Amino acid sequence: MIHKFRAPIAALVLSAAGFAGIALQEGYTDKAIIPVPGDVPTYGLGSTKREDGGPVRMTDTITPPKAIALAVRDISAKESVLKRCFGEAMLTQGEYDAFVDLAYNVGPAAVCRSSIPGKVQRGEYAAACRTILDFKKVQGRDCSAPENKRFCGGVWTRRQAMYRVCTGEPQ
């Protein structure tokens, strides 16, 4: 078994690989889009809020440098929320990156309300990682179901990638 170094969550920040993973999964768009039917508009690297904090409007545009800066700001804010709800937890860099990615995608409140923080605090790391796979629904549709692949299959693919990062499995 490979030893996984765990550090206090307070000492961790999203890694460059973690940021690259988010950027690649979100993709870049200079114009606001609706990523999944019925969702809110996003632009840049999946940002739902503009630089001024207001919601992205369908007429909004953004440049790559501003998109990166906005994503970094958004991720930092989500990391702060996660650190509060995870308490004194110890995590590997991969676990941390996966939970930050999940929070960037579904919101830190959803992660904090889930069983993930409690599992991590009890040292149930494998179970906490598996819980990422529970975040598979969009608008009540199970994105892991083959019949929903066109609607939200990318969500399921992303959850599986997060799970592999969390557990340290090869990508």
Task: Express each pLDDT in 78-117 by its tens digit.
Answer: 999 999 999 999 999 999 999 999 999 999 999 999 999 9
Handedness of CA 13, 29, 55, 160 (dihedral sign): negative
Q: Looking at residue 146, which CATH number applies to its domain?
A: 1.10.530.40
Residue 87 covered by a domain: yes
27: left (phi over 0), alpha (psi -120 to 50) or beta: left
Residue 2 covered by a domain: no
E strands, 9-159, in order: 29-33, 42-44, 90-91, 137-138, 141-142
Look up the pTM and report it: 0.93
Q: Is the pLDDT of residue 10 over 60?
A: yes
Task: Express each pLDDT in 20-56 by its tens digit.
Answer: 999 999 999 999 999 887 889 999 999 999 999 999 9
* Number of domains within the chain: 1
Task: Express each pLDDT in 123-155 by its tens digit.
Answer: 999 999 999 999 999 989 999 999 999 889 899
Domain carrying residue 60: 7-167
Residue 58 covered by a domain: yes
Residue 63 covered by a domain: yes
Residue 66 covered by a domain: yes
Residue 98 covered by a domain: yes
